[in-house]
Each structure stands twice: as C-alpha cells, then as structure tokens.
Amino acid sequence: MSTLSEQELATHFRSMKEGGLDGPLDLAPWQTSYSSPRDECTPCPSVDILADHLSHTISTLEAIRNTTPVTAGVFPRLSAISNASTEFTQVEHDYQTALHQLRSHAFLATAPTAPVTRLPEHVLALIFSYVKSALRHTSSSLYDIDDYDTDERPSQISCASVCQRWRNVAHQEPSLWNHIIYDAGLSSDALSTWLRRSGSSASVDLTLVGLPGNWRSWEQQLRFLNNISGRLRTVVLVGHCRFLHYMAQHWLTPASGLKELGFEHTKGRCRYKTPTKGTYARAPTSDAFPVLREFKVSNAHPPLSLLSAVDYVQISNNLRELTLEFRRTSSDSDAILKLLRSCPNLHVLVMSDVCFCTKVDVQDTADSIGSPITLAILKKLSVSQSHAVCWRWLNLLDVPSLQRVVMYPRGWEQWLAQWRPAPPAPIPQPPKPVHPLSLMGFTRRR
C-alpha cells in the first residue's frame, strides 16, 4: 500500500474521528495507521496496485496543473490544459477522495476493532450502563501522591474519543460522569464539563487528592467542595496531614445527601507543618451530615483528631459502618472510644492496629473509660492487630446481636484463655443416705 504523508494521515484520521467522511469510517484512538502487524488486517495486493495507480495519476495531474507558462507556450495543447485549472483541481480532489476511501475501506474491512465501533447506539448505551462502575475514572495519584502521571487519560475520555457515535452515547450517559477524582491532572475547564455531563441535579462521588505544598490547588479544591456539597453522595479526601487538616477545618457547607465519608492519610513531601502530628478528619456530625451511613479513616497515623465546624459535636445517629485503619499500632484510646460511644447504631465495625491496652490488667482500662460500650445492633466485628497487643479489650464491648467475627492474626483465643478466670471450685455435696440393710450385706435385686 502506498504510504501517506504526515499531513495526509493527520487529516484523514481527524476526518474519520469527526465522522466527516461517507461510510462507517471510524477508527479507535489506538489505531494510528492502516497497516497492522496482524495478518488479518493486511489488505490484498490488488488494493495496493490500485492505490499505486491512483497515486501515480494524482501526481501526473499535479505536474500538469503546475506547468509553467513557458512550457505551455512551447506545447500549444498544454496551454489549453493549463487554462482549465479549475477542472483539473476538481478532478484531483475526486481522485484524492477515491484514494482515501479505498484505503480506509480496505483497512476497516478486516480491522478487528471495526465491528465494535459500528455497534448500534442503543447497544452502546446498554453496555455503558452495565459497566459504568468499571469505566469510572481511576488515577495513579491515589497510589503515589508525589509522583504520578498528570497526563493520564480517564477511561471515560478514552471511550468518548473512539468516534463520533461513541462520543455521543458516552456524553448522554450521566452515570459515567458522576464519579470525579479531582487532582492536579484535572483542569477547571474539564471539571466543569464533567459536572455538566453528569446532570444538573445528579449525585456526585468525589475524591479529592491534595498535592503536597500546593496551597493554590487546595483553595480551588476547597471552593469546589463547598460549592457542590449539596450534590455529594460520597467524599474521600486523600493527602498528607496538612491537607487533611486544612480540608477538615474549612469545609463548612453541610452535605445533606452525603452517605459515605472517608479520609486517607498518605506520606507527602510537604514543607508546611501541622500544629500537631497525626491524622485529621472531619467529625461525622449530625448537623453537617444528617444521613451519613459510612465513615472511614484509612492508613491513619496516630493520634486521630476529629475536627468540626461547630463547637458542639454530635455524631450522626444514622452511622451504620465505621472503619478505623491505622498505619501502626495506636494507643490513642480517648478519641476512638469517644467515637465508638457516640455511634450506638453501628452494624459493622472494622478496626486495624487499634489497641487499648498492652499486657496490662483490663480492669485498669475499664476504670479509665467507665461503663462498657454498648453496640446493641452490631452485626459484624473485624479486628486485626499485632501479636504484642492484648485482646482483652474486647470484653469492653457489649454486643448482644453480634453474628460474625473476623480476627487476625490467630492467637486471640490464647490471649482470652490466658486471662480467663479459673472456673470456681465445685460445691461439696452432702453424702447420700445409706440403707441399714446394705450394711448387713443385702443388695437390691434388679
């Protein structure tokens, strides 16, 4: 097949993606040329021969049209042809279009991705609706906050870049755009477009990733967070301690529809210091989050500090699932116990590397916190901690409705057995009465 120039390739693929050509000329973004290493995508030799003839004809037409007047004066017939430049330009354009369509159809007829791009729009919409959770945007900034690819393309953008038909269907599916990861790789213009595609009143799942030391981006993220608090369904704040402290302290707008709230502490190279070291989280208060169902603090560095926009902190009674995951064993029992005591309606409790005592008498811990913590409707308890931590603090929980317990590592049974009180001595029983005849050697006949 005759090779195309860079300009011709760029024009061709731009026209195909925009749908400006006749026929199903749709290419995926990963297709950069007509050739393919796979045998089934290689056109037959007859197409190559025909393309070569068309290219040669176009070159001849260009040479004739560009003939100088001196040459035209020597050859009278060429002079007449030169006067008809308009007609030759149209003929050249027709040949260019024919060559363009020949090459594209020859490639697309055997391309393995061509049938996918020709799916009916209602089928595409059905596929996007079913796989919306898998197509939601993920970012490498969630794994490495200091070094990640800011040019990473979200999966929604890739779907919308396949062709014009795919773009129309993707833009009309709001569920693809209601999950936003707001990091340094998302511009303000793209953020506005993202919100517009998700719908004016649809709920939004938001993840804010704080870039270490970038105060300007923090202010923009905070402004955006306060502006759309009324539409939020899920919020996850990811960053180092200074970013979490800033967001927890200045996020003032109530989120009436928020159901899940999470804070994930990461190590960041930030030159700004917090008042105290640790992990900061916005307190799940009932005035700010009236319908909050799940509260999670991940990878926390003790101590844990819960901040609130008001002085009076009242944890939401609607909280059903609480997850506390620390990076290392935490003995900061005051904030944790206060949080547990303020959530009487929990159904699921997950705690990792949380300890209240280390090889000390459990009665000392019980005296310090007062009465046991009652979780009357708790169904599932999941606890993981190191071997050096005592398991006896479980006795401080009153969980009459507990149905499932997940413990790691093994060994908590030995801890409980070691500190289980010894069984009481048996009470002596009075001797049984003896019949007088038995003393004389008589026995009862059976």
The 3-class secondary structure across 248-296, one letter per residue, is: HHHCCCCCCCCCEEEEEECCCCCCCCCCCCCEEEECCECCCCCCCCEEE
In a domain, 284, yes or no: yes
For 22, 144, 213, 236, the CA distances from 272, given in Å and listed in that order, are 59, 19, 7, 22
In a domain, 245, yes or no: yes
Length in residues, the chain:
446
Answer whether residue 174 shows pLDDT above 90.
Answer: no
* Among the ranges given (71-75, 124-128, 405-409), the one the predictor scored with the smallest mean pLDDT: 71-75
The pLDDT value recorded for residue 258 is 92
Cis peptide before 426 (omega within 30 of 0): no
The pLDDT value recorded for residue 44 is 47
The pLDDT value recorded for residue 419 is 45
> Which whole number is the average pLDDT over 202-231?
85
The pLDDT value recorded for residue 433 is 64
Q: Read off the pLDDT band of 234 (50, 70, 90).
A: very high
In a domain, 363, yes or no: yes
Number of domains observed in the structure of the chain: 2
Residues 405 and 307 occupy one common structural domain: yes
Let me know if 180 is exposed, middle or buried by CB neighbors in 10 A (0-12, 13-18, 19+). Answer: buried
The pLDDT value recorded for residue 112 is 46
Answer whether residue 164 shows pLDDT above 80.
Answer: no
Q: Which of 316, 365, 314, 323 is nearest to 345 (CA)?
A: 316
Q: What is the domain extent for residue 104?
A: 6-117
Sign of CA dihedral 103, 104, 108, 109: negative
> Which whole number is the average pLDDT over 153-157?
72
Q: Read off the pLDDT band of 334 (50, 70, 90).
A: confident
- Dist. CA 192–CA 231, nearest whole Å: 14
Cis peptide before 433 (omega within 30 of 0): no
In this predicted model, what pLDDT tens digit does every residue of 237-281 receive, in sequence order?
A: 988 888 888 888 889 888 989 999 999 888 655 555 655 677 888
Residues 110 and 237 occupy one common structural domain: no
Q: Pairing relation of β-strands 204-209 and 179-182?
A: parallel
Q: Read off the pLDDT band of 19 (50, 70, 90).
A: very low
Q: Collapsing DSSP states into helix, strand and coil, what is residue 22? A: coil
pLDDT mean across residues, the chain = 70
In a domain, 428, yes or no: no
Residues 208 and 92 occupy one common structural domain: no
In a domain, 436, yes or no: no
* Cα three-residue angle 23-28-30, rounded to 5 degrees: 145
In a domain, 57, yes or no: yes
In this predicted model, what pLDDT tens digit does every residue of 22-38 receive, in sequence order?
A: 433 444 444 444 443 34
Structure tokens at 295: 């509260």
> Which whole number is the average pLDDT over 168-193?
80
Answer whether residue 168 shows pLDDT above 60.
Answer: yes
Instruction: Give percent above pLDDT 70 in the chain.
Output: 52
Q: Read off the pLDDT band of 1 (50, 70, 90).
A: very low
Residues 245 and 383 occupy one common structural domain: yes
In a domain, 54, yes or no: yes
Answer whether residue 299 shows pLDDT above 80.
Answer: yes
In a domain, 407, yes or no: yes
Which amino acid would we find at residue 332?
A: D
Residues 390 and 248 occupy one common structural domain: yes
Q: How many CB atoms lie within 10 A of CB 322?
A: 23
Residues 357 and 247 occupy one common structural domain: yes
Residues 6+ apart with CB under 8 A from 43: 1, 34, 106, 107, 110
Residue 235 · residue 209 · CB < 8 Å? no
Q: How is 150-206 classified by DSSP, letter by letter?
A: TTPPPHHHHHHTS-HHHHHHHHT-GGGTSEEEESTTS-HHHHHHHHHHH-SS--EEE
Share of the chain residues as helix, strand and coil, in percent rounded to the nearest 5? 40, 15, 45
Q: What are phi and psi of 268, to 5 degrees?
A: -130, 150
Q: Collapsing DSSP states into helix, strand and coil, what is residue 235? A: strand
Residues 366 and 260 occupy one common structural domain: yes
